[in-house]
Structure 1
Amino acid sequence: MNLLRGYGWVVIKGLGAAVLLTALAGCGGSGDAKPAGNALQDAPAEVASLYKANCVSCHGTDLQGKIGEKTNLQKVGERMTAAEIITQIEQGSGVMQGFSDKLTEAEISSLANWLAGKK
């Protein structure tokens, strides 16, 4: 009888774990969501590397923004020109730091030109 009680507890724990895993599998959105980092697929390798090293912590792997709506870059090209994006990257604004002392002009320009195409 004690043996059955021990197995019963194992079964209950196993069922609880299965329910938890099923619930967690459904977290995070709809079935048509893009895999993480999909937004970088059209970026040249050096631009993707720059973005991952300098931008992803605030702007996210899918350009979705992680610190409010202003950090969403998914359609940044609809609201900013490449020149405006260059200025933003160089000088920063609000909570965004400037990167003119961390990135070269060529790196900033390549990031800005790629982002300006996000429409």
Structure 2
Amino acid sequence: MKIKMGMISVLALSALIFAGCGQSNDDNKTEEHSSKGEEIFKNNSCVGCHGKDLEGASGPSLKKVGSKMSEADIEKTINEGKGNMPSKVVDEKEAKEVAKWLAEQK
């Protein structure tokens, strides 16, 4: 009986250790984003068309988009869509955050 209890304790301790490891990985994912706008961009369908590094894919590259468009114009495009880009990919509050972040990409 003592051996079984010892094994259960070891297994329980192992489970706690592994659970802690998983927890810190989730925290690291959140810290990778420098802004709320970047986090929204990378966690929505934006990445599918514009690439995780803004390099473009089926949609245009957004590298240096802040040099070409104002924050207001970027926000308008996110809200209204343009070309093959549908409107309202994110809600208006999120669009404002993404536009702010993209406008800083110069």
Q: Shorter chain as normaliser: what TM range?
A: 0.5 to 0.7
Bigger helix fraction:
2
Provide the rounded CA distance (Å) in 2 between the counterparts of 1:94 and 1:79: 17
Distance in 1 (alpha carbons) for counterparts of 2:102 and 2:93: 14
Which residue is 2:66 aligned to?
Answer: 77
Which residue number corresponds to residue 89 of structure 1?
78
Normalised TM-score (structure 1) = 0.56
Alignment equivalent of 2:58, drawn from 40, 63, 67:
67
1:51 partner amino acid = F
Change in 2 beyond 3 A, CA 1:42/1:78? farther
- Figure out how many residues of one structure are paired with residues of the other and give that number: 74
2:34 aligned to which of 43, 47, 72: 43
Provide the rounded CA distance (Å) in 2 between the counterparts of 1:43 and 1:92: 25
* More RCO (CA 8 Å, sep 6+): 2
Question: Percent identity of the aligned residues?
Answer: 38
Mark the runs of 5 or more structure 2 residues left unpaired by the alignment: 1-31
Report 1:1-119 matches (<5 A). Answer: 43-44=34-35, 46-52=36-42, 53-67=44-58, 71-99=60-88, 102-119=89-106
Q: Highest Rg: 1 or 2?
A: 1
Q: Given the two structures, how large is their TM-score scaled by the length of structure 2?
A: 0.62
What amino acid does structure 1 have at the position aligned with 2:41? Y
What is the aligned-residue RMSD (CA, Å)? 1.7
The Cα shift of 1:42 comes to 5.9
The residue identity in structure 1 corresponding to 2:98 is L
Displacement after TM superposition at 1:96 (Å)? 0.7
- For structure 1, the residue ranges without an aligned partner over 5 or more in a row are 1-40
